[in-house]
Amino acid sequence: MASLVWLITGCSSGFGEQFVLQTLARGDKVIATGRNASTKLAHLQGTGATILDLDVTMPEAEIAAKIKEAHQVFGRIDMLVNNAGYLESGAVEELSLDRVQRSFETNYFGPLKVTRGVLPFMREQKFGTVAFVGSVGGWGAVPNSSAYAACKYALEGLTEALQSEFAALFSRDIQFIVFEPGYFRTEIFSSTNVVHLPSNIPEYQAFNNATVQRQKGIYHNEKGDPAKGVARMIDTLTGSGMAEGKKLPPRLPLGSDSLQVVRAKCQATLKLCDEWEDLIVSTDIPAEADRQAEAHL
C-alpha cells in the first residue's frame, strides 16, 4: 500500500505529537505544524517529519499560502488532522466576548480555514480525508466550559455539512469525520492550555475556585491513553487494525467516559421525543389543509 501524506495541526504535544510519531512509524509522510514551530516543535526535528510553522488563527489568505507550501512538499495531502486547540474556561456570565471569540478563532475558525485551504487540493486529486478532533464537550457542556463546548458543537455541525455537501457533489472519495474524545492524559488541562482569569463577579468566586480545583484533579488522572486514542483514530482513518473492513463513520466517541455521555444524551433525547411528541408534531399544518389549499390554486 502506498504511503499517505498527513498534514497535522497542533503537534507540540498530546494527540498531535502522537499522530506525528505513529503515522511516521507506519511509513507515511508527515507535515507537522504548530505555532512557533522552531521552538515548540523542536522535539520533532530528526523524526522524519517536515516541520511547518502554522498558526491557525492567522488570516485565511496566510493560512492558504501555508497550505500551498505544505502541498508542495510532497505534491499531495491525503489526510488532514485538525487537532490544534485549547481550553478557555469561565462561566457564561463572566466570560468576556473577546475571550469567547478567541476560543472560536482557535477551536473553530482555525480548523475551518485550514480545511478550506486543503479541500481544493483534495478535489483536484479526487481523494482525501479530513478529521476534526472534537470532544465529548460537543455532546454536553460541563460548568465553565461554554466557550470550548460551543466550538466543539460547531465542529459537529461543520463536519455534518461537509459530509452532506461532498456526498452530493463529489461522491464519497473525499470523506470527513469528527472524533469525540473524552478525557485523555494530554496537556489540555495544563496551565499553558487552559486559561483561567480572576472572577469579576463576586458570586462566582467560590464556583470558579471549585472548577479550578476540579480541573487540577483531572490533569494527568484522565482515563484515556493518548497513544491508544491516536492509534484507534489512525485505524479508523485508514480502515486498518481495529477498523479493518469498516466504513469511515461520520463521528466516533473515544474513551469509556465519552461513550457514557453520548449514550446518556441519546437516550435522554429519545425519551424527550416520546414524552413530548404530541406537542412537537402539533405545530404542523394538517395535510388536509394543504390539500384544500392546493385545490383552490
**Residues noted as catalytic:** 148
What is the rounded CA–CA span in Å between residue 32 and residue 44? 8
Question: Where does residue 76 rank: exposed (0-12), middle (13-18), buried (19+ CB within 10 A)?
Answer: middle
| Residue of 151, 150, 154, 146 whose CA lies nearest to 204 | 146
Q: What cell was used for 108?
A: 473553530
Tell me, what amino acid is at 50? T
CB atoms within 10 A of CB 153: 18
Q: Return the half-sphere exposure (C-beta side, CA atoms, 13 A cut-off) of residue 291.
A: 3
**Phi and psi angles of residue 230, each rounded to the nearest 5 degrees, phi first:** -70, -40
Residue pointed to by grid coordinates 467516559: 257
